[in-house]
Structure 1
Amino acid sequence: MSIQKESSRPFHLYLSYAWNDERALDEFRTLLQRERFKPTISILSPAHSANQADDERALYHAIKTKIKFCDAVVMLGGEYVKYGRWINKELIACRDELRKPVVFVRREKSEPIPFIFKQHADTIVDWDAEAIVSAIRQLAGRRS
């Protein structure tokens, strides 16, 4: 069963820094294409100067700038410990300041969901194209 396609409305997503693993990013794009969903994707590159600096404000500002014009923020499960520095700033920017919806994607059903995501995600979905696309469309549609 496939959800109804909304070809006339482009979506712009910010993917959490945890998606900087090229393989995970490619798998995500491929998964979305199964639903014929091709959003514009923003991500803070590891090469961005704010990532190299010790200045936490510069990093936060760079994250906030990337998130500002996005319809939704997509977080990847299983990466919180490794990328907590970025994820905390992403959550503050998108939830507290910019009021962007957060979709948490759990790659493995057995994967524990960190409390911070239970607390801040608008929805938690499994690694399933239809569920992910439906969540994005529903949450981003609230803001339209």
Structure 2
Amino acid sequence: MNKSSPSYTLYLSCSWYYDNTYKELLALLDLIKEFRYEIRTLPVDITRSSRNKGRRRYQRIKNVMDNSDALLVLGGVYPLYQDLLGKEIMACKNNQSKPLIVIKREAERQISPVVSQYADRIVEWRAEDIIKTIRELIPGNA
């Protein structure tokens, strides 16, 4: 790893709680040795807690998103996470208008219309494509 290479802080959406895709994404990003990144997300127990609804949920997401360079969303339609995903998109786009990158693991998988509407880019499940997109969409780190 080149110590002078830029580092990216990436907020992983709640959509990554699905299956083992979270770990698989990290393994995929690690394939490119010169790509440095840090992952931010909210713990599952906090996001699913009934104490973290509405404005409180949004504020917790925003606090983490404020220190992130982009939002990464797993392509798909996730009815159980609709409210949480909506708040992540609001935190991503309302204040700083950070890039929202959708990663499609399966070509045939549909993407939520709301996610598609706000996505800056939709990319396939390939390390080179994901990293190239991150570098293109995050100014000052390239």
Query: Greater helix share, 1 or 2?
Result: 1
Counterpart residue type for residue 98 of structure 2? K
Moved more, 8-17 or 46-55: 46-55
CA distances 1:86-141 after superposition (whole Å, capped 9, x unpaired): 10000111112231110001110011122112210000001111111111111112
RMSD: 2.2
Contact kept, 8 Å, 1:50 with 1:59, in 2: the verdict is no
| TM value normalised by structure 1 | 0.86
3-state SS, counterpart of residue 53 of structure 1: coil
Q: Who is 1:132 aligned against? A: 130
Letter in 2 for 1:19: W
Residue 52 of structure 1, CA deviation: 3.2
Give 5+ residue unaligned stretches, structure 2: none
Identity %: 32
Q: CA deviation at 1:24?
A: 1.1
1:121 aligns with 2:140: no
* Structure 2 counterpart of 1:90: 88
Contact 1:50 1:62 in 2 (8 A): no
- 2:137 maps to a residue whose letter is L
1:75-86 maps to which residues of 2 (within 5 A)?
A: 75-86=73-84
User: In structure 1, how many angstroms separate the alpha carbons of the residues matched to 2:128 and 2:36?
Assistant: 13
Output the TM-score relative to the length of structure 2.
0.87
1:25 equivalent in alignment to 2:33 = no
- Quote the offset at 1:50 in angstroms: 7.5
